[in-house]
Chain A
């Protein structure tokens, strides 16, 4: 199993550009989440999904969209990038039977 994978590893955007961060898991996990990590702020939940077709907002959802068309994939879309979205983004998944979250390797995003 590859576990949780994320692409790209690193991305530079200009203000106003849009992009999609990809996340995939091959563990047949029902639950998936997106977090952003900023220095001194810990991990903050952006959006999460409890199954295909079901998504909900976390603590800091503004400026981000998600969809969950399959169990495996949970992409995060930045509609119009802002410098405040410079961060490291982590995707995580877990199964309904266990609260243990498995994290992807992260995507480092720089918005100029």
Chain B
């Protein structure tokens, strides 16, 4: 079946450093790739997304890049802050459906 692989499963960075989380998807026709942040005990919240006709998107300290050929997309967080500590999930929308496949999550810890 279709799947999304996400790495690493845990990531610790010093405050102010950058963090990168990577995902690879299997459905080459997937066309929408959101990233969610989930704090402990809370619901997932969309932080940034990218569509297949765009290679990169930025929103302040957060950016997402997409390589369609490699079926690979990444989340980049610069100048990390303690409040960035959370679990981050990538997802891919299967083409022609309303089915989202999620990665298994990355627990990011920003050390003060």
A residues within 8 A CB of B100?
A: 33, 43, 45, 101
B residues within 8 A CB of A75?
A: none
A residues within 8 A CB of B105?
A: 40, 42
Known contacts A103-B44, A105-B43, A58 near B104 by CB under 8 Å: no
A79 to B1, CA, bound (A): 26
Query: B49–A103 contact, CB under 8 A?
Result: no
Query: A99–B104 contact, CB under 8 A?
Result: no
Is B93 among interface residues, defined by CB-CB distance under 8 A? yes
B residues within 8 A CB of A100?
A: 34, 46, 49
Question: B22-75: which have CB < 8 Å to A?
Answer: 32, 34, 42-46, 49
Query: B43–A103 contact, CB under 8 A?
Result: yes
Known contacts A48-B98, A58-B99, A43 near B44 by CB under 8 Å: yes
Query: B34–A101 contact, CB under 8 A?
Result: yes
Known contacts A59-B1, A101-B34, A42 near B104 by CB under 8 Å: yes
Q: Can you list 9 contacts pairing A with B, beta carbon distance less than 8 Å?
A: A33-B98, A35-B102, A42-B6, A43-B91, A45-B99, A48-B99, A90-B44, A94-B98, A99-B93
